[in-house]
Amino acid sequence: MTPFGQRVRDLRSQRGITLAQMAEGLGVTPAYLSALEHGKRGRPTFTLIQGAIHLLGVIWDEADELVRLADLSHPRVTVDTAGLDPEATLLANRLSREIATLEKDELQRLAGILDEAAARHSQTG
């Protein structure tokens, strides 16, 4: 499941909206919406995201969160390490090969390291 798909599913559940009802409101099939939630389709379109925001009745921060999660929900990621240190290429390849073996807490720790690096970069750049 993608981060976007999980959040949409949680919001649907909280609001008592079924997958079929949401799919109809978005003008897509339930199979398509299910595949999107489970990462079997690419990143959702801007139109679909806006439709989901409207159907789920989310505003401001929740809407921004859905847009952000949609951007981070492409199930097949390409990492371009051209021009970077060999360690970056090694890390990208190892992560690609071993991500399925990581526990949730390990993924969260890695995400924390990336968050720290991004914060450091935003302070200096």
CATH code of the region 3-71: 1.10.260.40
> What is the rounded distance in angstroms from the CA atom of residue 29 to the CA atom of residue 21?
10
Model pTM score: 0.71
Q: Cβ distance 18 to 11 under 8 Å?
A: no
Helix (H, G, I), strand (E, B) or coil at 7: helix
Q: What pLDDT, on a 0 to 100 scale, did the predictor assign at position 125? A: 63
Q: Over its length of 125 residues, how does the chain's per-residue pLDDT go in tens digits?
A: 889 999 999 999 999 999 999 999 999 999 999 999 888 888 899 999 999 999 999 998 999 999 999 988 887 888 999 999 999 999 999 999 999 999 999 999 999 999 999 999 888 76
Residue 73 and residue 2 in contact, taking contact as beta carbons nearer than 8 Å: yes
